[in-house]
Amino acid sequence: MLDIKQIREDPDAIRAGIAARAEDNSVVDRLLELDASRRAMLTNVEELKSKRNKASKEIGALKKQGKDTTDTQASVRDLGNQIDKIDGEIKQVDQDLRELLIRIPNLPHSSTPRGADESGNVPVCEHGEKKTFDFKPRTHIEIGEHLCLFDFQRATRMAGSGFPLLTGLGARLQRALVQFMLDLHREEHGYTEISTPILCGSKAMTGTGQLPKLDDDMYKLPGDDLYLIPTGEVPLVNIFREEIIDRPMPLYLMAHTQCFRREAGAAGKTTRGMLRLHQFEKVELVKIVHPDSSYDELESLLKNALTVVERLELNYRVLELCTGDMSFAAAKCYDVELWSPGQNDWLEVSSCSNCEAFQARRAGIRYRREDKKVDFVHTLNGSGVALPRLIVAILENGQQADGTVKLPAVLVPYMNGIEKLELPSA
């Protein structure tokens, strides 16, 4: 959520920021109008309330003296009616303001490249070489079916398309990766491991910015005001909703969760196999930091995610997302992508974003400054990293001519000494 005061003071900057995200910025005029009338009504009604408070006290005093107050009471009752009327109007304006504010995306940081869509994203770096094979590389689906690592057909039978069913070594590989990532981030990067709810209420979803915009992209349980989380970012950031944080920052939090996405409107895209699922696992990293340090923290968050794929000996590249391709809450965002020989394309496995105070303002997450004033924290999030496409990359990059898959050395201890994936009977 943007700061209404900032909109009041510098509407042009806000208009420019919204336009950079290819969104309609005429909302700013409407906001200014509502804000002005709200303040006028507030001044008015607070004056009336002040009068009423004074008069009520006088009535109390008079009654103690045993005097008759019938007339005064009648006039104060009239005051009260006026107040109720204006209060009702203010409430409506507040609602209208909030409805508008809550739908405006975050303003892009000045360093975020301008652009309308993904073609405007800027490559930052590429690490490693695209693997070449002296045989025709198979896709992860072919490899997985051959080695019995997963079974999408049977998954479809129980839940419809887009749900994972990992079997045998496939399931073990995923668990090993989770364990590896959590250990790495805890031991070397200082994150605290959290186990969270995977259903959250609408207030939490609004706090991190999934609602109202992504309502159709989430699975919900309307009878209970609960949504299945689309990312671990939701519960992690919402831990401190409506709080003034009284512990030393920065806070580094991580959670391994299931994530659920309806992917409405994604039909027809690259949805085969593990590339795009309604349910997937992810290790999520969240930082809650002092505003002065959030851009340094974004760089180190990105490094934390990159360390995962480097240790796994994978070929990756980093993109700086442009204004038109960034998610709703982000002011600046890096994507990490892995090379997929089977797709002959890059696969996104992590987005590392600095949301600045956007989520903090929505969710009421504050800290106390040196001068004792209360201010909003900055929040950052990034995948560290998402599992399905990571598995795709490991399978497709590690595949051998004989149909087996060589595992990265760092995973071997997590697989109880297994160095390559092969058929159990082989």
Residues that bind RNA (CB under 7 A): 4-5, 39, 42-43, 46-47, 49-50, 52-57, 59-61, 63-64, 73, 76-77, 80, 91, 244, 246, 366, 368, 372, 374
Task: Name the nearest CA neighbour of 124 among 280, 372, 392, 320.
Answer: 320
Q: Minimal distance in Å, beta carbon 4 to RNA?
A: 6
Pick 84 or 345: Cβ nearer RNA: 84
Q: Minimal distance in Å, beta carbon 376 to RNA?
A: 9
The pair of three-digit structure tokens given for residue 330, joined into one six-digit string: 């982000």
Q: Minimal distance in Å, beta carbon 286 to RNA?
A: 23
Residue 95 burial (CB count, 10 A): 10
Q: Minimal distance in Å, beta carbon 55 to RNA?
A: 6
Pick 27 or 48: Cβ nearer RNA: 48
Q: Minimal distance in Å, beta carbon 372 to RNA?
A: 7
CA 65 to chain centre: 62
Q: Minimal distance in Å, beta carbon 288 to RNA?
A: 17
State the DSSP H helix or E strand holding residue 270, giving kind and residue range, or none if neither: none
Pick 276 or 366: Cβ nearer RNA: 366
Q: Minimal distance in Å, beta carbon 357 to RNA?
A: 12
Q: Minimal distance in Å, beta carbon 52 to RNA?
A: 6
Beta pairing class for 365-368 and 243-245: parallel
Rounded distance between C-alpha atoms, residue 209 and residue 325, angstroms: 16
Pick 52 or 172: Cβ nearer RNA: 52
Terminal Cα distance for the chain, rounded: 57
Pick 91 or 269: Cβ nearer RNA: 91
Rounded distance between C-alpha atoms, residue 16 and residue 112, angstroms: 13
Pick 55 or 165: Cβ nearer RNA: 55
Task: Give the residue ranges of DSSP H helices in 190-252.
Answer: 202-208, 233-238
Pick 52 or 241: Cβ nearer RNA: 52
Q: Minimal distance in Å, beta carbon 37 to RNA?
A: 11
Residue count of the chain: 426
**What's the Cα-to-Cα distance from 271 to each of 162, 230, 263, 275, 278, rounded to whole Å?**
8, 17, 10, 6, 10
Q: Minimal distance in Å, beta carbon 61 to RNA?
A: 6
Rounded distance between C-alpha atoms, residue 362 and residue 365, angstroms: 8
Pick 45 or 392: Cβ nearer RNA: 45
Backbone Cα Rg of the chain: 27
Pick 118 or 243: Cβ nearer RNA: 243
The pair of three-digit structure tokens given for residue 199, joined into one six-digit string: 């259903």
Pick 63 or 154: Cβ nearer RNA: 63
The pair of three-digit structure tokens given for residue 419, joined into one six-digit string: 């160095």
Rounded distance between C-alpha atoms, residue 51 and residue 101, angstroms: 33
For 246-395, list the strands marked E by DSSP.
Answer: 251-260, 279-289, 316-320, 332-340, 345-354, 365-368, 374-376, 378-386
Q: Minimal distance in Å, beta carbon 319 to RNA?
A: 36
Rounded distance between C-alpha atoms, residue 387 and residue 259, angstroms: 11
Torsion of CA 314, 320, 325, 329, to 10 degrees: 100
3-state secondary structure of 27: helix
Pick 77 or 127: Cβ nearer RNA: 77
The pair of three-digit structure tokens given for residue 258, joined into one six-digit string: 């299931």
Residue 215 burial (CB count, 10 A): 14
